[in-house]
Amino acid sequence: MRIFGLQITKAENEKEEIRSFAPPPNEDGAIEIAPIGGVYGTYLDLSGQAKDEAEIVTRYRSMERDATVRRAIEDIVNEAIVVSETEKPVKIDVSSTQLSVSLRKRIEDEFDGILKLLDFSNKGYDIFQRWYVDGRLKYHAMIDEKSPEKGIKELRYIDPRKIRRIREIVKKKLGDNVDGFEKLIKQEYYIYSEKGFAKNVKNGQSFDPTDNDIKGIRIAKDSIVDVNSGLFGQYLC
């Protein structure tokens, strides 16, 4: 099993791919590209889709500054997040599952551990508001690489304008007597750019990740916690 990009047990055989002429559905807003070279640094032509998403997030945040919009958002967040000294703001319910009592208890304990890492009792209001405005949340799940079995040590927030999910798609001919190709997922990962993919507010110029000054850092897919609104389209994600 691989976790956070690290091999901690014997690798299992990957499941057999089912052949299809249709590409796998893009349900997470990832950028689909052809396989590229490079390991430690990667240059991608993200000047279109990635920059558009980053600028959408910036636009959402500017809309929040309007007093009317701000009051509406506060009403929604107040209804969603209840602050109480006696009850938790959110909890997980596994009572209707077929899991054993011990496993249910383990899941509940791990869930409570994540809430503590997020300091959700104090920051839950701000976390939900950030998700509601941006339409997405990105966290880096940080572990001790020397002792990965100890689990997540910290969840660090990442500005969604600085990171994008990448999915490499390879084409494979369906057959000698068949006209067409099947599209398979080769690998998935994230690209992080400290300068981001949004427009530079200071000089009005747009960042282009193909420039030599902008280097994308490749990050293992399971190192990033990606919480999106589930809505994708031209004006959403």
Q: What is the DSSP letter of 49?
A: H
pLDDT of residue 71 exceeding 80, the answer is yes
- pLDDT at position 63, please? 92
- pLDDT at position 55, please? 83
Section 35-55 average pLDDT? 54
Alpha carbon distance 155, 167 (integer Å): 23
- pLDDT at position 215, please? 62
- pLDDT at position 174, please? 66
Section 193-204 average pLDDT? 60
pLDDT of residue 27 exceeding 90, the answer is no
Least confident stretch, 36-45, 80-89, 224-233:
36-45
- pLDDT at position 205, please? 45
pLDDT of residue 99 exceeding 70, the answer is yes
Write the DSSP assignment of 97-144 as a string of letters: S---HHHHHHHHHHHHHHHHHHTHHHHHHHHHHHHHHHSEEEEEEEE-
Instruction: Summarize pLDDT for 139-174 with one digit per residue, the tens.
Output: 999 998 888 888 899 999 999 989 988 888 777 766
The neighbour count for residue 112, using CB atoms within 10 Å, is: 14
Domains of the chain, residue spans: 2-228
pTM given for the model: 0.70
pLDDT of residue 203 exceeding 70, the answer is no
